[in-house]
Amino acid sequence: MDKKTVRLSVVVPCFNEGPSLGRCVERVLEIEDERLTLEIIIADDGSTDNSLQVAKELSSRHPGVQVVSHEKNKGKGAALRTGFQLATGDFVAVQDADLEYDPADLKRLLVPLKKGQADVVLGSRFLSHGAHRVLYFWHSLGNRFLTFMSNIFTDLNLTDMESCYKVFRRDVIQGIQLREDRFGFEPEIIAKIAHKRLRIYEMGISYYGRTYAEGKKISARDGFRALYCIFRYNAHKAPIPVQFLLYMVIGGISAVFNLLLFLLLYHSGVTITVAAPVAFLSAAGLNYALCVLLLFRHTAQWNSLTEFMIYLLLVGVLAGVDLPLTRWLISAGTHPIIAKGLASLLLLLLNFLGRRFFVFSEPPSGPWKA
């Protein structure tokens, strides 16, 4: 494919970028040559300035430019979803309208795709290539922290998860269901391409960042949303050590609930014979609900009823292991407190493994494998 003409769809999300939109599109058009044809899709996201007018003028002058608009502002992610649906090229790229990125870099990012080596190529502002405007230290540190957190959950080794420049095979991006409306698009799309175990490449790009006085829109709120999205879209496929740490939190919450409910029932006059199993089963139900809500994906392997019955079977089996294991450790000379602690730790690990590999089993996230 590297020898023949390819078609690149460039989706330009736009919200109140009237001063820069025209120049941005003209710069994108400049990369077209005999081996690269362009389809530029401007997705105006309810702009209140002259952005939509500028977009329509560009479309009237350039046949390869089309415009779609939202009546109300929904966010960058929503604009990109609209643009991706309309793309017809061999590959699809994201291009912000703010002149922070150099479209000439798109031709370089296309090379691994054209050669059939990659499914997705990401641009990185933190790998050495081209000019980089010197701007906010804490902003760049925040970007690196979000990338670090994303990598922990996706098992990728990216350097710039939040970069605008992302180029996809069209069938890849159109085959992914996206939900985020604002800047949460970035961690969401990284999570979902990691889940698909695609061939992902990263290349250095130039970066001409702008200040907030010049119109930069991302805020601290978007950073917190990014953290939420990293957790939300990755927890159910995160590497096992990460999932185990999360499960320890869930297990701890359930254990405290078990203890408190037992004490409440016991001091209310309920016999130990009744209070203990009621508290245990209630805690098991809470554990299941938290696993589904926070960690694993509901019905990842089974239908709802089968999943819950298997979960209860697992709980029953492990509950039956606790007493004889504790007795065996004590009979072997282990102090009762240590014996109970060891049994509890082993059951915590077995609980997690049973949920991860049996009740909620599904393939992990990570790089492409042959």
The 3 state secondary structure assigned to 280-326 is HHHHHHHHHHHHHHHHCCCCCCCCHHHHHHHHHHHHHHHHHHHHHHH
pLDDT at 133: 65
The terminus-to-terminus CA distance of the chain in angstroms comes to 21
The answer to whether the CB of 16 falls within 8 A of the CB of 97 is no
Tokens of 336: 């009762």
pLDDT at 212: 58
What residue ranges in the chain does DSSP mark as E strands? 6-14, 36-45, 65-70, 91-94, 120-124, 166-169, 200-204
pTM score of the predicted model: 0.86
- Could you report the per-residue pLDDT of 230-287, keeping only the tens digit for each? 999 999 999 999 999 999 999 889 888 988 898 898 889 888 788 888 888 898 889 9
pLDDT at 370: 46
Residue located via tokens 């300035």: 49
The percentage of residues in the chain with a pLDDT greater than 70, rounded to a whole number, is 94
The answer to whether the CB of 128 falls within 8 A of the CB of 209 is no
Query: 251: closest CA among 279, 278, 291?
Result: 291
Q: Kindly tell me the burial class for residue 141, based on how many C-beta atoms sit within 10 Å of its own C-beta (0-12, 13-18, 19 or more).
A: exposed
- What does pLDDT average to in each consecutive run of 10 residues of the chain (370 residues)? 82 94 96 95 96 96 96 95 97 94 95 96 86 69 92 95 95 96 93 95 87 62 90 94 94 88 88 83 90 88 88 86 83 83 84 90 73
pLDDT at 1: 47
